[in-house]
Chain A
Amino acid sequence: MSAAANKKPFDAGRAAYLALNIVLLAFLLVPIAIIIVFALNPTPFISFPPVGVSLRWFEKFFASSDFMNALWLSLWVAACVLVLSVLIGGACALALARGNLPGRTFLTAFFMSPLMLPAILTGLALFQSYLLAGIGRPVWGLIMAHTLIAVPYVLRTTLAVLHNFDHRIEEAAAALGASPVRVFFEITLPLIRPGVFAGGVFAFIVSFDQFPVSLFLVVPKSETLPVVLYNYMKFDLDGAIAAASMVSILLALSVVLAMERLIGLKAYVKL
Protein backbone atom coordinates (compact mmCIF):
# COMPACT_ATOMS: atom_id res chain seq x y z
CA MET A 1 0.00 0.00 0.00
CA SER A 2 2.72 2.43 0.95
CA ALA A 3 4.77 1.14 -1.96
CA ALA A 4 1.90 1.97 -4.29
CA ALA A 5 1.73 5.46 -2.82
CA ASN A 6 5.43 5.92 -3.35
CA LYS A 7 5.25 4.92 -7.01
CA LYS A 8 2.95 7.81 -7.82
CA PRO A 9 4.54 10.86 -9.43
CA PHE A 10 4.74 14.16 -7.53
CA ASP A 11 1.46 14.79 -5.79
CA ALA A 12 0.83 18.44 -4.88
CA GLY A 13 -1.96 17.66 -2.42
CA ARG A 14 0.17 15.15 -0.53
CA ALA A 15 3.13 17.55 -0.47
CA ALA A 16 0.96 20.37 0.91
CA TYR A 17 -0.41 17.98 3.55
CA LEU A 18 3.11 17.00 4.57
CA ALA A 19 4.27 20.64 4.65
CA LEU A 20 1.28 21.64 6.77
CA ASN A 21 2.04 18.92 9.32
CA ILE A 22 5.70 19.84 9.51
CA VAL A 23 4.69 23.47 10.19
CA LEU A 24 2.34 22.26 12.94
CA LEU A 25 5.08 20.14 14.51
CA ALA A 26 7.37 23.18 14.35
CA PHE A 27 4.72 25.20 16.20
CA LEU A 28 4.91 22.61 18.98
CA LEU A 29 8.69 22.41 19.13
CA VAL A 30 10.05 25.89 18.30
CA PRO A 31 8.99 27.52 21.59
CA ILE A 32 10.90 24.88 23.49
CA ALA A 33 13.95 25.30 21.25
CA ILE A 34 13.82 29.05 21.83
CA ILE A 35 14.27 28.53 25.56
CA ILE A 36 17.69 27.01 24.81
CA VAL A 37 18.65 30.16 22.88
CA PHE A 38 17.75 32.43 25.79
CA ALA A 39 19.33 30.17 28.39
CA LEU A 40 22.67 30.55 26.59
CA ASN A 41 22.33 34.19 25.52
CA PRO A 42 24.38 36.41 27.91
CA THR A 43 22.39 39.70 27.54
CA PRO A 44 20.88 40.92 30.83
CA PHE A 45 17.34 40.93 29.45
CA ILE A 46 15.57 38.70 27.01
CA SER A 47 16.64 40.01 23.62
CA PHE A 48 16.71 38.65 20.13
CA PRO A 49 18.75 37.78 18.10
CA PRO A 50 21.21 36.22 20.57
CA VAL A 51 24.67 37.78 20.81
CA GLY A 52 26.71 34.88 22.12
CA VAL A 53 26.92 31.78 24.21
CA SER A 54 27.52 31.78 27.95
CA LEU A 55 26.65 29.79 30.99
CA ARG A 56 26.08 32.85 33.21
CA TRP A 57 22.35 32.12 33.62
CA PHE A 58 23.03 28.55 34.64
CA GLU A 59 25.57 29.88 37.14
CA LYS A 60 23.01 32.36 38.46
CA PHE A 61 20.41 29.61 38.73
CA PHE A 62 22.65 27.15 40.52
CA ALA A 63 24.19 29.86 42.75
CA SER A 64 20.84 31.27 43.92
CA SER A 65 19.76 29.79 47.23
CA ASP A 66 16.11 30.64 46.43
CA PHE A 67 16.18 28.60 43.25
CA MET A 68 18.20 25.78 44.80
CA ASN A 69 15.94 25.44 47.85
CA ALA A 70 12.95 25.37 45.52
CA LEU A 71 14.63 22.81 43.25
CA TRP A 72 15.41 20.50 46.18
CA LEU A 73 11.92 20.87 47.62
CA SER A 74 10.41 20.06 44.22
CA LEU A 75 12.66 17.03 43.79
CA TRP A 76 11.89 15.78 47.30
CA VAL A 77 8.14 16.22 46.86
CA ALA A 78 8.24 14.58 43.42
CA ALA A 79 10.22 11.61 44.77
CA CYS A 80 7.70 11.06 47.57
CA VAL A 81 4.84 11.42 45.09
CA LEU A 82 6.49 8.87 42.79
CA VAL A 83 6.67 6.24 45.53
CA LEU A 84 3.21 6.92 46.96
CA SER A 85 1.40 7.09 43.63
CA VAL A 86 3.07 3.92 42.33
CA LEU A 87 2.01 1.99 45.44
CA ILE A 88 -1.51 3.41 45.64
CA GLY A 89 -2.18 3.62 41.90
CA GLY A 90 -0.64 0.22 41.10
CA ALA A 91 -2.67 -1.49 43.81
CA CYS A 92 -5.81 0.31 42.67
CA ALA A 93 -5.25 -0.77 39.04
CA LEU A 94 -4.87 -4.40 40.10
CA ALA A 95 -8.05 -4.22 42.15
CA LEU A 96 -9.95 -2.65 39.25
CA ALA A 97 -8.66 -5.11 36.65
CA ARG A 98 -8.66 -8.33 38.70
CA GLY A 99 -10.79 -7.73 41.76
CA ASN A 100 -14.17 -8.46 40.20
CA LEU A 101 -15.49 -5.26 41.70
CA PRO A 102 -19.02 -4.13 40.94
CA GLY A 103 -19.28 -0.75 39.22
CA ARG A 104 -15.80 -0.91 37.71
CA THR A 105 -16.53 1.62 34.98
CA PHE A 106 -17.76 4.13 37.52
CA LEU A 107 -14.82 3.50 39.86
CA THR A 108 -12.31 3.92 37.03
CA ALA A 109 -13.94 7.20 35.98
CA PHE A 110 -13.94 8.33 39.63
CA PHE A 111 -10.23 7.63 40.12
CA MET A 112 -9.46 9.38 36.82
CA SER A 113 -11.51 12.46 37.70
CA PRO A 114 -8.70 14.55 39.29
CA LEU A 115 -7.34 14.82 35.75
CA MET A 116 -10.56 16.32 34.47
CA LEU A 117 -11.48 18.64 37.32
CA PRO A 118 -9.63 21.95 37.36
CA ALA A 119 -6.39 21.45 39.26
CA ILE A 120 -6.70 24.94 40.70
CA LEU A 121 -9.98 23.86 42.33
CA THR A 122 -8.32 20.80 43.83
CA GLY A 123 -5.73 23.18 45.25
CA LEU A 124 -8.43 25.54 46.52
CA ALA A 125 -10.47 22.73 48.09
CA LEU A 126 -7.39 21.33 49.87
CA PHE A 127 -6.34 24.82 50.97
CA GLN A 128 -9.77 25.35 52.55
CA SER A 129 -9.73 21.91 54.16
CA TYR A 130 -6.29 22.46 55.68
CA LEU A 131 -7.52 25.88 56.85
CA LEU A 132 -10.58 24.38 58.55
CA ALA A 133 -8.53 21.55 60.02
CA GLY A 134 -6.13 24.17 61.36
CA ILE A 135 -3.04 22.27 60.26
CA GLY A 136 -1.43 25.12 58.33
CA ARG A 137 0.24 24.25 55.04
CA PRO A 138 2.65 21.38 55.77
CA VAL A 139 4.86 19.78 53.13
CA TRP A 140 3.10 16.44 53.61
CA GLY A 141 -0.15 18.18 52.68
CA LEU A 142 1.45 19.26 49.42
CA ILE A 143 2.75 15.72 48.84
CA MET A 144 -0.71 14.22 49.35
CA ALA A 145 -2.21 16.81 46.99
CA HIS A 146 0.32 15.94 44.27
CA THR A 147 -0.20 12.21 44.89
CA LEU A 148 -3.92 12.66 44.28
CA ILE A 149 -3.18 14.22 40.89
CA ALA A 150 -0.48 11.64 40.06
CA VAL A 151 -2.43 8.44 40.89
CA PRO A 152 -4.60 8.66 37.73
CA TYR A 153 -1.47 8.59 35.55
CA VAL A 154 -0.18 5.43 37.23
CA LEU A 155 -3.66 3.96 37.06
CA ARG A 156 -3.91 4.66 33.34
CA THR A 157 -0.55 3.18 32.33
CA THR A 158 -0.98 0.15 34.62
CA LEU A 159 -4.52 -0.57 33.44
CA ALA A 160 -3.30 -0.36 29.84
CA VAL A 161 -0.69 -3.04 30.52
CA LEU A 162 -3.17 -5.19 32.47
CA HIS A 163 -5.61 -5.07 29.57
CA ASN A 164 -2.93 -5.97 27.07
CA PHE A 165 -1.55 -9.07 28.70
CA ASP A 166 -3.14 -12.44 28.47
CA HIS A 167 -4.99 -13.32 31.65
CA ARG A 168 -4.54 -17.03 30.87
CA ILE A 169 -0.84 -16.82 31.78
CA GLU A 170 -1.91 -16.25 35.38
CA GLU A 171 -4.56 -18.96 35.16
CA ALA A 172 -2.01 -21.40 33.75
CA ALA A 173 0.41 -20.69 36.61
CA ALA A 174 -2.38 -21.20 39.13
CA ALA A 175 -3.49 -24.41 37.41
CA LEU A 176 0.09 -25.68 37.63
CA GLY A 177 -0.08 -25.29 41.39
CA ALA A 178 1.34 -21.82 42.09
CA SER A 179 -0.19 -20.10 45.09
CA PRO A 180 -1.96 -16.76 44.46
CA VAL A 181 0.93 -14.95 46.20
CA ARG A 182 3.46 -16.70 43.96
CA VAL A 183 1.38 -15.98 40.85
CA PHE A 184 1.33 -12.33 41.84
CA PHE A 185 5.05 -11.98 42.48
CA GLU A 186 6.30 -14.20 39.65
CA ILE A 187 3.78 -13.52 36.88
CA THR A 188 1.62 -10.46 37.43
CA LEU A 189 4.15 -8.10 38.97
CA PRO A 190 6.93 -8.60 36.38
CA LEU A 191 4.37 -8.24 33.58
CA ILE A 192 2.81 -5.00 34.84
CA ARG A 193 6.09 -3.49 36.02
CA PRO A 194 6.72 -1.48 32.82
CA GLY A 195 3.27 0.11 33.08
CA VAL A 196 3.62 0.90 36.76
CA PHE A 197 7.09 2.26 36.25
CA ALA A 198 6.08 4.43 33.29
CA GLY A 199 3.18 5.74 35.37
CA GLY A 200 5.61 6.53 38.18
CA VAL A 201 7.79 8.50 35.79
CA PHE A 202 4.71 10.44 34.69
CA ALA A 203 3.83 10.99 38.35
CA PHE A 204 7.28 12.40 39.01
CA ILE A 205 7.02 14.86 36.11
CA VAL A 206 3.45 15.84 37.00
CA SER A 207 4.54 16.65 40.53
CA PHE A 208 7.79 18.31 39.54
CA ASP A 209 6.02 20.61 37.04
CA GLN A 210 2.89 21.06 39.14
CA PHE A 211 1.72 24.62 39.57
CA PRO A 212 -2.06 25.05 40.05
CA VAL A 213 -2.35 22.53 42.88
CA SER A 214 0.73 23.92 44.63
CA LEU A 215 -0.24 27.59 44.33
CA PHE A 216 -2.39 27.77 47.49
CA LEU A 217 -0.58 25.00 49.38
CA VAL A 218 2.95 26.37 49.64
CA VAL A 219 4.17 28.86 52.22
CA PRO A 220 6.56 31.73 51.43
CA LYS A 221 10.24 30.74 51.71
CA SER A 222 9.25 27.12 51.14
CA GLU A 223 7.89 27.14 47.61
CA THR A 224 8.30 24.60 44.83
CA LEU A 225 10.30 25.47 41.72
CA PRO A 226 7.34 26.25 39.41
CA VAL A 227 5.90 28.64 42.02
CA VAL A 228 9.25 30.37 42.49
CA LEU A 229 9.68 30.66 38.71
CA TYR A 230 6.16 32.06 38.34
CA ASN A 231 6.71 34.69 41.01
CA TYR A 232 10.08 35.60 39.49
CA MET A 233 8.56 35.90 36.00
CA LYS A 234 5.97 38.40 37.17
CA PHE A 235 8.77 40.93 37.77
CA ASP A 236 11.85 39.74 35.90
CA LEU A 237 12.15 38.09 32.54
CA ASP A 238 15.79 37.17 32.25
CA GLY A 239 17.89 34.20 31.28
CA ALA A 240 17.77 32.65 34.75
CA ILE A 241 14.21 31.51 34.02
CA ALA A 242 15.39 30.06 30.72
CA ALA A 243 18.21 28.22 32.47
CA ALA A 244 15.78 26.87 35.09
CA SER A 245 13.44 25.87 32.28
CA MET A 246 16.28 24.06 30.54
CA VAL A 247 16.99 22.06 33.66
CA SER A 248 13.32 21.02 33.77
CA ILE A 249 13.24 20.22 30.06
CA LEU A 250 16.38 18.08 30.21
CA LEU A 251 14.74 16.17 33.02
CA ALA A 252 11.58 15.67 30.93
CA LEU A 253 13.59 14.63 27.90
CA SER A 254 15.49 11.97 29.80
CA VAL A 255 12.14 10.74 31.05
CA VAL A 256 10.77 10.41 27.51
CA LEU A 257 13.84 8.44 26.47
CA ALA A 258 13.56 6.21 29.52
CA MET A 259 9.91 5.63 28.75
CA GLU A 260 10.57 4.77 25.11
CA ARG A 261 13.15 2.24 26.31
CA LEU A 262 10.88 0.74 28.92
CA ILE A 263 7.63 0.11 27.14
CA GLY A 264 7.67 2.16 23.95
CA LEU A 265 5.67 5.35 23.49
CA LYS A 266 3.17 3.60 21.26
CA ALA A 267 1.51 1.98 24.25
CA TYR A 268 0.17 5.36 25.36
CA VAL A 269 -1.59 6.16 22.15
CA LYS A 270 -3.87 3.16 22.44
CA LEU A 271 -5.37 4.60 25.60
Chain B
Amino acid sequence: MSLRHHAARMAVASHRPSPIAWLIAPAVLLFVLFFVLPFAVMAVMSVYSGNPVNNPNAYLTTRHYERFIFDTAGIFHDALWATLRIGLVTTVISLLIGYPLAHWMARMHSRLGHALALTAVIAPLLTGIVVRTFAWMTILQDKGVINTTLISWGVIHKPLPLMYNEFGTVVALVHIYVPFMVLTLIGVIGRIDERLEQAARSLGAGRLRAFVEVTLPLSLPGILAGSLLVFALSISAYVTPSLMGGTDVLTLPMLIAQQVGTSFNPNFAGALGVVLLLVCLVIVIAYNRILARLSGEQGLA
Protein backbone atom coordinates (compact mmCIF):
# COMPACT_ATOMS: atom_id res chain seq x y z
CA MET B 1 0.00 0.00 0.00
CA SER B 2 2.53 2.58 1.17
CA LEU B 3 4.95 1.19 -1.40
CA ARG B 4 2.52 2.00 -4.18
CA HIS B 5 1.95 5.51 -2.82
CA HIS B 6 5.61 6.06 -2.67
CA ALA B 7 6.17 4.89 -6.21
CA ALA B 8 3.32 7.07 -7.46
CA ARG B 9 4.68 10.07 -5.60
CA MET B 10 8.15 9.50 -6.98
CA ALA B 11 6.71 9.37 -10.51
CA VAL B 12 4.87 12.70 -10.28
CA ALA B 13 7.48 14.48 -8.19
CA SER B 14 9.60 16.97 -10.08
CA HIS B 15 13.31 17.08 -9.47
CA ARG B 16 13.39 20.73 -8.45
CA PRO B 17 13.60 21.44 -4.69
CA SER B 18 10.42 23.10 -3.44
CA PRO B 19 10.41 26.22 -1.21
CA ILE B 20 9.92 23.89 1.78
CA ALA B 21 13.54 22.82 1.27
CA TRP B 22 14.63 26.11 2.87
CA LEU B 23 13.41 24.78 6.21
CA ILE B 24 16.60 22.75 6.30
CA ALA B 25 18.66 25.94 6.73
CA PRO B 26 18.64 26.19 10.57
CA ALA B 27 19.68 22.55 10.87
CA VAL B 28 22.48 23.04 8.35
CA LEU B 29 23.69 26.11 10.25
CA LEU B 30 23.61 24.24 13.58
CA PHE B 31 25.43 21.23 12.15
CA VAL B 32 28.10 23.25 10.36
CA LEU B 33 28.88 25.45 13.37
CA PHE B 34 28.57 22.89 16.14
CA PHE B 35 29.39 19.60 14.44
CA VAL B 36 31.42 19.77 11.22
CA LEU B 37 33.58 22.71 12.26
CA PRO B 38 34.36 21.37 15.77
CA PHE B 39 35.42 17.99 14.38
CA ALA B 40 37.64 19.82 11.90
CA VAL B 41 39.07 21.79 14.84
CA MET B 42 39.74 18.52 16.63
CA ALA B 43 41.66 17.19 13.63
CA VAL B 44 43.65 20.47 13.38
CA MET B 45 44.42 20.47 17.09
CA SER B 46 45.76 16.93 16.81
CA VAL B 47 48.55 18.03 14.46
CA TYR B 48 49.61 21.14 16.41
CA SER B 49 51.99 21.35 19.34
CA GLY B 50 49.78 23.84 21.17
CA ASN B 51 46.84 26.18 20.75
CA PRO B 52 47.31 27.51 17.18
CA VAL B 53 45.21 30.62 17.85
CA ASN B 54 46.74 32.20 20.94
CA ASN B 55 50.14 30.50 21.07
CA PRO B 56 52.49 31.99 18.43
CA ASN B 57 55.04 29.22 19.04
CA ALA B 58 52.64 26.42 18.16
CA TYR B 59 53.90 24.44 15.19
CA LEU B 60 52.66 21.60 13.00
CA THR B 61 53.72 18.21 14.30
CA THR B 62 52.90 14.53 14.07
CA ARG B 63 54.28 13.90 17.52
CA HIS B 64 50.88 13.19 19.12
CA TYR B 65 50.22 10.42 16.62
CA GLU B 66 53.80 9.15 17.05
CA ARG B 67 53.24 9.08 20.79
CA PHE B 68 50.21 6.90 20.24
CA ILE B 69 51.72 4.68 17.52
CA PHE B 70 55.13 4.04 19.16
CA ASP B 71 53.56 3.91 22.60
CA THR B 72 56.76 4.09 24.65
CA ALA B 73 54.67 4.40 27.83
CA GLY B 74 53.11 1.04 26.98
CA ILE B 75 49.53 2.06 27.80
CA PHE B 76 47.94 3.35 24.60
CA HIS B 77 47.88 0.10 22.64
CA ASP B 78 46.58 -1.71 25.71
CA ALA B 79 43.85 0.92 26.06
CA LEU B 80 42.86 0.60 22.39
CA TRP B 81 42.80 -3.19 22.67
CA ALA B 82 40.82 -3.04 25.94
CA THR B 83 38.32 -0.68 24.31
CA LEU B 84 37.78 -2.99 21.34
CA ARG B 85 37.70 -6.11 23.53
CA ILE B 86 35.11 -4.65 25.90
CA GLY B 87 33.10 -3.45 22.89
CA LEU B 88 33.18 -6.88 21.26
CA VAL B 89 32.25 -8.83 24.40
CA THR B 90 29.47 -6.34 25.18
CA THR B 91 28.13 -6.68 21.63
CA VAL B 92 28.11 -10.48 21.63
CA ILE B 93 26.37 -10.71 25.02
CA SER B 94 23.89 -7.98 24.05
CA LEU B 95 23.03 -9.98 20.95
CA LEU B 96 22.57 -13.20 22.96
CA ILE B 97 20.24 -11.38 25.36
CA GLY B 98 18.58 -9.09 22.85
CA TYR B 99 17.74 -11.63 20.15
CA PRO B 100 15.43 -13.87 22.19
CA LEU B 101 13.68 -10.80 23.61
CA ALA B 102 13.22 -9.21 20.19
CA HIS B 103 12.04 -12.50 18.66
CA TRP B 104 9.57 -13.04 21.49
CA MET B 105 8.22 -9.51 21.21
CA ALA B 106 8.01 -9.50 17.42
CA ARG B 107 6.01 -12.76 17.46
CA MET B 108 3.77 -11.76 20.36
CA HIS B 109 0.07 -11.72 19.54
CA SER B 110 -1.15 -9.96 22.66
CA ARG B 111 -1.10 -6.19 22.22
CA LEU B 112 -1.01 -5.61 25.96
CA GLY B 113 1.90 -8.03 26.41
CA HIS B 114 3.75 -6.30 23.61
CA ALA B 115 3.19 -2.85 25.10
CA LEU B 116 4.32 -4.03 28.55
CA ALA B 117 7.45 -5.73 27.24
CA LEU B 118 8.24 -2.68 25.13
CA THR B 119 7.85 -0.38 28.13
CA ALA B 120 10.24 -2.65 30.03
CA VAL B 121 12.79 -2.35 27.21
CA ILE B 122 12.42 1.41 26.78
CA ALA B 123 12.31 2.31 30.49
CA PRO B 124 16.03 1.59 31.07
CA LEU B 125 16.77 3.50 27.88
CA LEU B 126 15.17 6.58 29.37
CA THR B 127 17.13 6.26 32.59
CA GLY B 128 20.42 8.11 32.47
CA ILE B 129 23.72 6.29 32.03
CA VAL B 130 25.00 7.66 35.34
CA VAL B 131 21.89 6.39 37.15
CA ARG B 132 22.09 2.93 35.58
CA THR B 133 25.79 2.65 36.37
CA PHE B 134 24.97 3.61 39.96
CA ALA B 135 22.42 0.80 40.07
CA TRP B 136 25.04 -1.74 39.00
CA MET B 137 27.51 -0.39 41.55
CA THR B 138 25.00 -1.06 44.33
CA ILE B 139 24.46 -4.58 42.98
CA LEU B 140 28.04 -5.64 42.25
CA GLN B 141 30.21 -3.93 44.85
CA ASP B 142 31.73 -5.83 47.79
CA LYS B 143 28.89 -4.80 50.08
CA GLY B 144 26.41 -4.89 47.23
CA VAL B 145 23.25 -6.89 46.76
CA ILE B 146 24.81 -10.02 45.25
CA ASN B 147 27.77 -10.34 47.61
CA THR B 148 25.85 -9.67 50.84
CA THR B 149 23.11 -12.08 49.80
CA LEU B 150 25.54 -14.86 48.91
CA ILE B 151 27.51 -14.32 52.13
CA SER B 152 24.38 -14.34 54.29
CA TRP B 153 23.35 -17.63 52.64
CA GLY B 154 26.79 -19.01 53.42
CA VAL B 155 27.54 -19.72 49.74
CA ILE B 156 30.73 -17.66 49.85
CA HIS B 157 32.82 -16.27 52.72
CA LYS B 158 34.46 -13.28 51.18
CA PRO B 159 33.01 -11.02 48.48
CA LEU B 160 33.43 -12.03 44.86
CA PRO B 161 35.35 -9.48 42.76
CA LEU B 162 32.35 -8.46 40.66
CA MET B 163 33.27 -4.81 40.27
CA TYR B 164 36.32 -2.66 39.56
CA ASN B 165 37.23 -4.96 36.69
CA GLU B 166 36.20 -5.75 33.12
CA PHE B 167 33.48 -8.13 34.26
CA GLY B 168 31.54 -5.41 36.07
CA THR B 169 32.13 -2.99 33.21
CA VAL B 170 30.72 -5.41 30.64
CA VAL B 171 27.69 -6.33 32.79
CA ALA B 172 26.69 -2.69 33.17
CA LEU B 173 27.42 -1.88 29.51
CA VAL B 174 25.30 -4.81 28.35
CA HIS B 175 22.43 -3.61 30.51
CA ILE B 176 22.75 -0.12 29.08
CA TYR B 177 22.94 -1.15 25.41
CA VAL B 178 20.65 -4.21 25.17
CA PRO B 179 17.61 -1.97 24.51
CA PHE B 180 19.29 -0.62 21.35
CA MET B 181 19.83 -4.19 20.16
CA VAL B 182 16.23 -5.19 20.92
CA LEU B 183 14.72 -2.14 19.21
CA THR B 184 16.82 -2.71 16.08
CA LEU B 185 15.98 -6.42 15.93
CA ILE B 186 12.22 -6.18 16.64
CA GLY B 187 11.62 -4.26 13.43
CA VAL B 188 13.63 -6.69 11.31
CA ILE B 189 12.23 -9.87 12.84
CA GLY B 190 8.71 -8.43 12.74
CA ARG B 191 8.99 -8.01 8.96
CA ILE B 192 9.90 -11.65 8.40
CA ASP B 193 6.76 -13.45 7.32
CA GLU B 194 5.88 -15.90 10.09
CA ARG B 195 4.33 -18.19 7.50
CA LEU B 196 7.78 -18.99 6.08
CA GLU B 197 8.73 -20.62 9.36
CA GLN B 198 5.35 -22.35 9.55
CA ALA B 199 5.81 -23.66 6.01
CA ALA B 200 9.22 -25.06 6.94
CA ARG B 201 7.71 -26.75 9.98
CA SER B 202 4.78 -28.21 8.06
CA LEU B 203 7.32 -29.63 5.62
CA GLY B 204 8.81 -31.53 8.54
CA ALA B 205 11.51 -29.25 9.94
CA GLY B 206 11.75 -29.16 13.72
CA ARG B 207 11.22 -25.87 15.56
CA LEU B 208 14.95 -25.35 15.98
CA ARG B 209 15.77 -26.24 12.38
CA ALA B 210 13.02 -23.95 11.06
CA PHE B 211 14.48 -21.14 13.15
CA VAL B 212 18.11 -21.77 12.21
CA GLU B 213 17.43 -22.23 8.50
CA VAL B 214 14.64 -19.71 7.91
CA THR B 215 14.27 -16.98 10.53
CA LEU B 216 17.91 -16.60 11.56
CA PRO B 217 19.32 -16.04 8.05
CA LEU B 218 16.51 -13.59 7.24
CA SER B 219 17.24 -11.58 10.37
CA LEU B 220 20.96 -11.37 9.61
CA PRO B 221 20.83 -7.70 8.45
CA GLY B 222 19.17 -6.76 11.76
CA ILE B 223 21.78 -8.72 13.70
CA LEU B 224 24.54 -6.86 11.86
CA ALA B 225 22.94 -3.44 12.24
CA GLY B 226 22.19 -3.95 15.94
CA SER B 227 25.66 -5.31 16.63
CA LEU B 228 27.39 -2.42 14.88
CA LEU B 229 25.23 0.05 16.81
CA VAL B 230 26.00 -1.55 20.18
CA PHE B 231 29.69 -1.87 19.32
CA ALA B 232 29.92 1.81 18.31
CA LEU B 233 28.13 2.85 21.51
CA SER B 234 30.15 0.66 23.86
CA ILE B 235 33.61 1.56 22.53
CA SER B 236 32.77 5.22 23.17
CA ALA B 237 31.37 4.68 26.68
CA TYR B 238 33.06 6.71 29.38
CA VAL B 239 30.95 6.77 32.55
CA THR B 240 30.55 3.01 32.95
CA PRO B 241 34.19 1.91 32.45
CA SER B 242 35.49 4.75 34.59
CA LEU B 243 33.15 3.95 37.51
CA MET B 244 32.87 0.16 37.16
CA GLY B 245 36.39 -0.52 35.94
CA GLY B 246 38.30 1.06 38.80
CA THR B 247 42.05 1.01 38.20
CA ASP B 248 41.80 -2.26 36.27
CA VAL B 249 40.24 -0.84 33.15
CA LEU B 250 41.60 1.91 30.92
CA THR B 251 39.77 2.61 27.66
CA LEU B 252 40.32 5.15 24.91
CA PRO B 253 37.51 7.48 26.08
CA MET B 254 38.97 7.37 29.61
CA LEU B 255 42.41 8.30 28.21
CA ILE B 256 40.85 11.21 26.34
CA ALA B 257 39.13 12.48 29.50
CA GLN B 258 42.44 12.17 31.38
CA GLN B 259 44.24 14.22 28.74
CA VAL B 260 41.62 16.96 28.96
CA GLY B 261 40.97 16.88 32.69
CA THR B 262 44.21 16.08 34.49
CA SER B 263 47.03 16.37 31.92
CA PHE B 264 45.44 19.33 30.13
CA ASN B 265 46.84 18.27 26.78
CA PRO B 266 43.96 19.00 24.39
CA ASN B 267 46.22 18.39 21.40
CA PHE B 268 47.05 14.82 22.35
CA ALA B 269 43.40 14.35 23.36
CA GLY B 270 42.56 15.44 19.80
CA ALA B 271 44.86 12.80 18.32
CA LEU B 272 43.30 10.10 20.52
CA GLY B 273 39.90 11.45 19.48
CA VAL B 274 40.78 11.12 15.80
CA VAL B 275 41.84 7.49 16.37
CA LEU B 276 38.54 6.69 18.10
CA LEU B 277 36.65 8.63 15.43
CA LEU B 278 38.23 6.62 12.61
CA VAL B 279 37.27 3.35 14.27
CA CYS B 280 33.71 4.61 14.72
CA LEU B 281 33.41 6.04 11.20
CA VAL B 282 34.15 2.64 9.68
CA ILE B 283 31.39 1.17 11.84
CA VAL B 284 28.92 3.98 11.08
CA ILE B 285 29.41 3.64 7.33
CA ALA B 286 28.84 -0.11 7.51
CA TYR B 287 25.76 0.45 9.68
CA ASN B 288 24.27 3.00 7.27
CA ARG B 289 24.92 0.70 4.30
CA ILE B 290 23.04 -2.11 6.01
CA LEU B 291 20.16 0.15 7.07
CA ALA B 292 19.90 1.60 3.57
CA ARG B 293 19.66 -1.89 2.12
CA LEU B 294 17.08 -2.84 4.76
CA SER B 295 14.84 0.15 4.10
CA GLY B 296 15.43 -0.19 0.36
CA GLU B 297 13.74 -3.58 0.54
CA GLN B 298 10.79 -1.94 2.22
CA GLY B 299 10.45 0.91 -0.26
CA LEU B 300 11.00 3.45 2.52
CA ALA B 301 13.75 5.97 2.71
Query: In the docked arrangement, what's the CA distance between A28 and B114, Å?
Result: 16
B150 to A: closest C-beta gap in Å: 11
**Residue B62 CB within 8 A of the other chain:** no
Binding site for A on B (CB under 8 A): 2, 5, 9, 13-24, 26-27, 30-31, 33-35, 37-39, 41-42, 45, 51-54, 97, 100-101, 104, 109, 114-115, 117-124, 126-139, 141, 143-145, 148-149, 175, 178-179, 183, 186-187, 190, 207, 229, 232, 235-236, 238-239, 243, 253, 256-257, 260, 266, 269-270, 273, 276-277, 280-281, 283-284, 287-288, 292, 300-301
> Assuming the A-B contacts A25-B120, A28-B178, A124-B273, are A230 and B135 also in contact, with contact meaning beta carbons closer than 8 angstroms in the complex?
no
- Selected interface stretch from A51-59, A108-116, A189-197: A108-116
Query: In the docked arrangement, what's the CA distance between A132 and B50, Å?
Result: 11
A126 touches B138 (CB 8 A): no
A148 touches B34 (CB 8 A): yes
A114 touches B35 (CB 8 A): yes
Chain B proximity mask over A10-29: 1 for CB below 8 Å, otherwise 0: 00010001101100110111
Interface residues contributed by chain A, number (CB under 8 Å): 101
A107 touches B24 (CB 8 A): yes
Query: In the docked arrangement, what's the CA distance between A1 and B19, Å?
Result: 50
> Assuming the A-B contacts A27-B97, A167-B9, A242-B138, are A234 and B243 also in contact, with contact meaning beta carbons closer than 8 angstroms in the complex?
yes
A148 touches B31 (CB 8 A): yes
Show 28 residue pairs from A and B whose CB-CB distance is below 8 angstroms, ordered by the A residue.
A17-B100, A21-B117, A24-B100, A28-B121, A29-B120, A29-B124, A32-B135, A92-B24, A96-B24, A101-B17, A101-B21, A101-B24, A116-B283, A116-B284, A117-B281, A118-B232, A126-B34, A128-B42, A145-B34, A163-B2, A211-B238, A226-B128, A233-B137, A234-B243, A245-B134, A252-B123, A269-B118, A269-B187
> Assuming the A-B contacts A35-B134, A129-B41, A211-B129, are A98 and B18 also in contact, with contact meaning beta carbons closer than 8 angstroms in the complex?
yes
**Which residues of A in the span 138-178 have a Cβ within 8 Å of any Cβ on B?**
144-145, 147-148, 151, 163-164, 166-168
**Residue A260 CB within 8 A of the other chain:** yes
A102 touches B17 (CB 8 A): yes
- Report chain A residues within 8 Å CB of B127: 32, 209, 245, 248-249, 252
Beyond the given A99-B24, A144-B30, A266-B118, please list 18 additional residue pairs across the A-B interface where CB-CB is below 8 A: A1-B109, A25-B101, A27-B97, A27-B175, A32-B132, A46-B138, A92-B24, A99-B21, A100-B20, A116-B284, A120-B238, A148-B30, A151-B27, A167-B5, A226-B130, A229-B131, A249-B127, A256-B126
